[in-house]
Amino acid sequence: MDWSSSLSGLAGGILIGLSATWLMATLGRIAGISGIIGNLITVRPRGDSAWRLTFLLGLISGPLLLMLLGGGLGNVAGTGIDVTGQVIGAPAGGVALMLVAGLLVGVGTGLGSGCTSGHGVCGLARLSPRSMVATLTFLVAAIITVYVMRHVVGGGA
């Protein structure tokens, strides 16, 4: 097993956990990306959008900061596209596949009230039964999807 990538994963995970704790401590909010950004774009709640927008900017500037620091920290992407070096990996498919995937991710996280961060990082930490069921469901669905794409269909993702 590759312990250095596991340790980088753990370090990054701790930062994500700290982010979620920070947002709850300061603003009293769940750090769910689909909720924060989804509501920012589709609802634009009056008086409740500024922190969502700055959260979005922070989220984008995280990987940028790592690039500025040289990009060699933590786990690097094996298939990085040239301009951004190794921090951000290349998409795993073309435009058509990503349109389908994006629609499913958007509709699914919208209907299911959360994604890997809201249900996973925050919901599991709150021991929420809904989040436990949601997390198990999307993990199993994703594992089956990858199995079908890689080992049944053969090509694809």
Nearer to another protein, 46 or 151 (CB): 151
91 makes contact with another protein (CB under 8 A)? yes
In the complex, minimum distance from the CB of residue 123 to another protein, in angstroms, rounded to a whole number: 8
In the complex, minimum distance from the CB of residue 70 to another protein, in angstroms, rounded to a whole number: 12
What's the rounded Cα separation, in Å, for the pair 67 and 130? 37
Sequence-distant (6+) residues with CB within 8 A of 80 are 86, 87, 88, 89, 90
State the Cα angle at 106 between 90 and 65, rounded to 5°: 45
Q: Which of 45, 70, 150, 153 is close enough to bind another protein by CB under 8 A?
A: 150
153 makes contact with another protein (CB under 8 A)? no
Q: Identify the three-state secondary structure at position 14.
A: helix
Residues of span 14-33 touching another protein by CB under 8 A: 14-31, 33
Residues of span 109-138 touching another protein by CB under 8 A: 109-113, 115-117, 119-126, 128-130, 133-135, 137-138
Q: Do residues 133 and 141 make contact, with C-beta atoms less than 8 angstroms apart? A: no
